[in-house]
Amino acid sequence: MVLRVFQIPVAVAVGVLALVPSPAWAAAPVAACFSSCMKPYAPTSDDYFPFADHVKACRDRCDAATLDAMRADGSYAAYASCERAPLDKADFRALRAANASWQSQFNVFLWDVRNVFPDRVLTGITVRTQDMNLIDVDLEAVGVIPPGATGTFVIPDFFDGYPAVRYATKVTSVTACRIK
């Protein structure tokens, strides 16, 4: 049997993942909402608009499911009346450290986020990137990610044309509101 060099890291990674227990939040039904909604829909052409429409529909469907779950567990009233504010620097860094980086493909920005705060609902993000003239542009995404849950912030119509622009893109703030 010939073992190729690229097979060794994959085999080690698969073996390590099999030994790591799955955290409780990974099994939450809302956690995979966006990815499971998008999974059966692969772009079949270079036409951006049908894909963007599907992305927006999945985002809206998942946010509605999250709000329904909050109504069912009684936390919706606190969310509906809470005041949204940006996370302070320490909390922002804690959230970024607890989550993988964002991704951008087919002019759609996605960031899967696990809310690590037990008393706050994450409500939005601001992303800074550059336009075709290399001028800074801030784009915002809104969403609803309750404490302990995982959700996806989505920015459709996100320009990622210049390869160098991708290096300038960063999440600059996250908004949240206290519900406890």
What value does the mean pLDDT take over residues 28-36?
69
Torsions phi, psi for 168 (to 5 deg): -90, -15
pLDDT at 14: 36
156 — phi, psi (to 5°)?
A: -75, 165
Q: How confident is the model at residue 1 (pLDDT cuts 50, 70, 90)?
A: very low
* pTM of the complete model: 0.78
Average pLDDT over residues 52-80: 94
d(CA 92, CA 77): 25
Residue bearing tokens 């920015």: 155
pLDDT of residue 131 exceeding 90, the answer is no
Looking at residue 115, its pLDDT comes to 97
* Local confidence band at 166 (pLDDT 50, 70, 90 cut-offs): low
* Strand duo 108-114 + 103-105: pairing: antiparallel
pLDDT digits (tens, 9 = 90+) for 101-110: 898 878 889 9
Taking residue 157's Cβ as centre, other Cβ atoms within 10 Å add up to: 12
Per the CB < 8 A criterion, the answer to whether 150 and 122 are in contact is no
